Structure 1
Amino acid sequence: MWELESESAGQRKYTNGVVISNKHGVQTNGFERRDQSWFVATDIPSDLLVHVEDVSFYLHKYPLLLRCGRMSRIIYQLEDGNTNKIVLDDLPGGADAFELVAKFCYGIAVDLTATNISGLRCAAEYLEMTEDLEEGNLIFKTEAFLSYVVLSSWRDSILVLKSSEQLSPWAENLQIVRRCSESIAWKACANPKDIKWAYTGKPTHISSSPKWNEMKESSPSKNQQVPPDWWFEDVSILRIDHFVRVITAIKVKGMRFELIGAAIMHYASKWLPGLSLTKEGTGEEGSSGKDSNSSSSISSWIGGLHMVVSAGTKEEQRNSQIKEQRLIVESLISVIPPQKDSVSCSFLLQLLRMANMLKVAPALVTELEKRVGMQFEQATLSDLLIPSYNGETLYDVDLVQRLLEHFLVQEQMEHSSPGESFSEKNGFEGMPRNNVPNAKTRVAKLVDSYLTEVSRDRNLSLTKFQVLAEALPESARTCDDGLYRAVDSYLKAHPTLSEHERKRLCRVMDCQKLSMDACMHAAQNERLPLRVVVQVLFSEQVKISNAIANSTLNLKESGGEAQHYQPMVSTRKALLEGTPQSFQEGWATEKKDINTLKFELESMKAKYLELQNDMDSLQRQFDKMSNKKHSSAWTNGWKKLSRFTKMTSSEIQDAGSQIQASSEQTRKGPRRWRNSIS
């Protein structure tokens, strides 16, 4: 019940939201309804029939002539004096509003409420019930009620704005929508500590005169403080155009942009069935209890004011719903605050998904894609799996490519202007500058995961995969394991790729950026081209060499020399075990040849020593026989044999050195080859 207010100016009276007029020409006890007709309870027969929609009013001309300028003109313009029928199908507020107008003209008390004041105000304007006809006419009284009662109340302002949805354009032209929107905005921006009025979700156990124990518990601990999102639920009952008006007025008042974004996400979760948002993303932690009672609270507020679906075929209703949801999505895109992080990236991507499905205007879709690019590093894999509506692929890879391009453009513009950020140049106030390398690294991991997921689609072309994989600069990835998984998944799903196409696909990754586990897998991966396997093994050999050099240098600097090679033994062994079988067989063959050469060299040395001993024994025998004075052919033969023995000895030594050199050369060759593949 509103506070008692009364003001008198001649015959004017205004008390407790009830308006009456003492100037009437027909004494009556009230109105009576019979089926779809209203009759005045009086002995004077009616001389005027008014049709409004499908309801008939049997009235008298004189009370209407005194207070309705439009009715007086219509009555005087009747060509036939016997025609006393007037049709008012375009009356704002309909039959309900005209019923109240008729009662007011007959001097019957009319109870003004938040649900009927807007319709009554528009009907009074339509019927021209001005002060020129009567002091304290209906226009004046309804305006006074709006100004002094409705606009000072949080609940009544929302209900009047809700009831004005069916009164366009009258409510807009009479500034009812603007005044209610500004009233709601002022109260929404008020300090929560100063809020004393009721709102949806407010604890009901707090009474107007609490007991001393309740005051003692609540006041010092402040457990019953008003949350900053107290107004979300009430504002979310408004139609989208009125909601936009309220949000625009709240922006002008200077509310924090993240709170405005949370209100927009809350509204979207109520009116867009295909949008699934978590409490974490909407800033509604701990409000589940509030949501459970919101429907009943709103219903008690608005009474019978619910959205009415027009009758028609299912196809017409479906088209109507699609148009309504398209309007909501377009309006929400246009009203999102320009600051970064005003809404979550997940919400933007889900809104983008619905925008593509509902075929929203391309300009708004492009604007939304740019907004996603501003905070693309916050996205998750499930958010990016947006279905493709062109039928070419399972997921919209082109959309993710555009989002990635917007992200890179954003990062580039921030880099190019160190003194002035991109947010300041484009009006995005309050947007913090991110750590660019970290943002790119997160995006690189996200893109790799996305490529792994979409690579299973057999309709995904190699060109699209390659373009998306190479879109990020090389500095964005410190490790290419995720990219290797995506490449391997694509090869597995596309077994018919040619050798050239497989080499082209593998060029998107850098073998030097693969981890040990990835190298072990790649060395045994039969789907990879042989050249890629060799590159993987070579890059791993370089890593091992660098690791040995670094460890040796560190040990020298620390004064120790022992055990610097021990950590690499297991690594070399594991790498050799992971080497393809063909490489291991080649190494075993070379090792066998080296052992054979060593055995032949040792046998030749033994034969040489045996021959040397035989020659010494023969020389001694020859010396004994030389003492004899005769010379014969036998002596000459022994001399030749001696020379031959000496020549054979030197030649054998030369041959032994050559065999040893060739053995060492053969042994060095495989060692260099082994290092190259380790």
Structure 2
Amino acid sequence: MQKLALPLETITFSGELQQLVPESWFDDGYIPDMDQFVETISCIKSKGFRPDLIGSFITNFAYKFLPGLSGSGDERAIANLEVSPESVTTSWMKKRVFVETLVAILPPEKESIPCNFLLRLLPIANMVGVDPLYRDELEKRVSWHLDQASLDELMIPSFSHTCTTLLDVELVLRMVTRFVHMDGAARSGAALVKVARLVDWYLAEAATDSNLTLSQFVALATALPSHVRAADDALYRAVDMYLKAHPGMSKQERKSICKLVDSKKLSPEASLHVVQNERVPIRAIIQVLLSEQSKINKHIDWGGSFRGTRIPNPQPPEPLDRCLSMNKMNTQQMEIKRLKEDVLRLQSQCMAMEGQIERLLEKKKGIINWKKLVNFRKIVKSKFS
């Protein structure tokens, strides 16, 4: 390897950190000497530079000399890999040493290295087969900043011969689990919400893989506490994608995956989709309907008015105002009465359908009246649309 154009002792530490690097390091044809680079980093650290500046220096160096890290591709590197089988092995070994060296000299401070750089370095590390200690260090550092990751960056392909899925789901599961078990000071509530949303989006993408097992899906979906999801619409979408990509699931498996979704956290639009979804078990549909009924009950005062609409200490109205107010109140009461009747009728239909299902399950014979179920779904659609 070509050596530094300048001895280490002659490098000055004034001005920008970029000035520490000899110009020859940034020539296209130059191959850096990693030993000299490590010595330079050690010298920089001894001079008391801020960790984020040192991290910036390391990331710029890596983007310059590690093909594939920037995502733009390196045609010369690809051409060199096609020379002979021996050159392929040599190139991979060089990359492995390069990545392990970079990981070894990263500043220990959490904010010194950006998350997007680590997420680009991690797939390369897995591809060239770095030592498990270095891979574990990279995974730990990504976990520190997992709430800053994007979905595209998390779509890391699997390079393991034992893994049958296209995406490295086990890798993401390890990082999410690490993030959840970080101490509370580093893992805020807002960060948990961001990671939960990211996991739900990731599950929707991974669910289309027919090789993704139910246990893998459930493990990742339950890796985060349920209370961090304000709404379960995204999780329901992931569940629906999994049901669609795995049509051969048993009834018990479909029940178990649908239990992941909290029907109380579904929006009216998502609830309507569940009711009309033929892939969802009947029990899950009934649970959603009962939840929608419960939401309506919370907004209705069966004494004759909506909760929270009374004005404290109202002023006595004028006679004309009083007449208008009485007409308005009568109209409102009639609307409430009609809504109450609809809700009670819907509840009765839900209970009747649930009783029918229970009897069928106990007797283990007969079939569900699907015509009634279709009409029932139409009724629900008209009420919640």
Q: TM-score, normalised by structure 2?
A: 0.74
Render the CA deviation track for 1:435-487: whole Å, top value 9, x for unaligned.
x1100000000000000000000010001000110110012111111100000
Task: Give the corresponding residue for 1:546.
Answer: 298
Q: Is the alpha carbon distance of 1:515 and 1:558 closer, same or farther for their aligned partners in structure 2, counting shifts above 3 Å?
A: farther
Task: Give the corresponding residue for 1:467.
Answer: 219
Q: Is the alpha carbon distance of 1:182 and 1:526 closer, same or farther for their aligned partners in structure 2, counting shifts above 3 Å?
A: farther
Q: What amino acid maps onto 1:250 in structure 2?
A: I
User: Going by fraction, where is helix more abundant, 1 or 2?
Assistant: 2
**For 2:307, what is the secondary structure of its paired residue?**
helix
Distance 1:506 1:231 in 2: 58
User: Is residue 276 from structure 1 mapped to residue 70 from structure 2 by the alignment?
Assistant: yes
- The higher-RCO structure (CA 8 Å, 6+ apart) is 2
Distance 2:20 2:268 in 1: 55
Task: Give the corresponding residue for 2:106.
Answer: 336
Retained in 1: the 8 A contact 2:147–2:192? yes
Retained in 2: the 8 A contact 1:182–1:246? no
Task: Give the corresponding residue for 2:179.
Answer: 407
Pairwise CA distance, 1:547: 2.4
Task: Give the corresponding residue for 2:193.
Answer: 441
Render the CA deviation track for 1:239-266: whole Å, top value 9, x for unaligned.
2221121112111111121121121111
Distance 2:21 2:273 in 1: 53
Match of residue 167, structure 2, among 383, 395, 415: 395
Pairwise CA distance, 1:557: 3.9
Distance 1:376 1:565 in 2: 50
Q: What amino acid maps onto 1:554 in structure 2?
A: G
Render the CA deviation track for 1:327-359: whole Å, top value 9, x for unaligned.
110001111111122122121111110111000
Distance 1:233 1:438 in 2: 43
Percent identity among equivalent residues? 40
Pairwise CA distance, 1:191: 3.6
Greater Rg by CA: 1
User: Is residue 365 from structure 1 mapped to residue 192 from structure 2 by the alignment?
Assistant: no
Match of residue 260, structure 1, among 54, 57, 67: 54
Task: Give the corresponding residue for 1:597.
Answer: none
Pairwise CA distance, 1:319: 1.2
Distance 1:408 1:388 in 2: 23
**For 1:554, what is the secondary structure of its paired residue?**
coil
Distance 1:244 1:381 in 2: 33
Retained in 2: the 8 A contact 1:350–1:383? yes
Render the CA deviation track for 1:125-155: whole Å, top value 9, x for unaligned.
xxxxxxxxxxxxxxxxxxxxxxxxxxxxxxx
Retained in 1: the 8 A contact 2:299–2:307? no
Retained in 2: the 8 A contact 1:349–1:384? yes
Distance 1:522 1:558 in 2: 41
Distance 2:9 2:235 in 1: 53
**Runs (5+) with no aligned partner, structure 1:** 1-114, 119-157, 161-179, 193-227, 279-306, 416-420, 422-432, 588-673
Distance 2:22 2:155 in 1: 30
Pairwise CA distance, 1:364: 0.8
Distance 2:37 2:18 in 1: 15
Q: Is the alpha carbon distance of 1:548 and 1:183 closer, same or farther for their aligned partners in structure 2, counting shifts above 3 Å?
A: farther
Pairwise CA distance, 1:554: 1.8
User: Is residue 534 from structure 1 mapped to residue 328 from structure 2 by the alignment?
Assistant: no
Distance 2:22 2:209 in 1: 42
Q: Is the alpha carbon distance of 1:313 and 1:542 closer, same or farther for their aligned partners in structure 2, counting shifts above 3 Å?
A: closer
Distance 2:146 2:332 in 1: 45
**For 1:159, what is the secondary structure of its paired residue?**
coil
**RMSD value, Cα:** 3.5
Retained in 1: the 8 A contact 2:116–2:149? yes
Render the CA deviation track for 1:523-559: whole Å, top value 9, x for unaligned.
1111100110111111111112212359833212446
Give the alignment of 1:219-368 within 5 angstroms. Answer: 229=18, 231=20, 234=23, 235=25, 238-276=32-70, 314-368=84-138
Distance 1:255 1:549 in 2: 66
Retained in 1: the 8 A contact 2:5–2:22? no
Distance 2:312 2:157 in 1: 59
Q: Is the alpha carbon distance of 1:544 and 1:445 closer, same or farther for their aligned partners in structure 2, counting shifts above 3 Å?
A: same
Pairwise CA distance, 1:233: 7.8
Q: Is the alpha carbon distance of 1:528 and 1:232 closer, same or farther for their aligned partners in structure 2, counting shifts above 3 Å?
A: farther
Render the CA deviation track for 1:355-399: whole Å, top value 9, x for unaligned.
110000011111111111111111111111111122411111100
Distance 1:473 1:549 in 2: 33
**For 1:479, what is the secondary structure of its paired residue?**
coil
Distance 2:106 2:211 in 1: 36
Distance 2:301 2:43 in 1: 68
Q: What amino acid maps onto 2:122 in structure 1?
A: L
Give the alignment of 1:636-647 within 5 angstroms. Answer: none
Distance 1:346 1:380 in 2: 8
Pairwise CA distance, 1:408: 1.3
Retained in 2: the 8 A contact 1:182–1:249? no
| Large movers: runs of 4+ above 6 Å | none
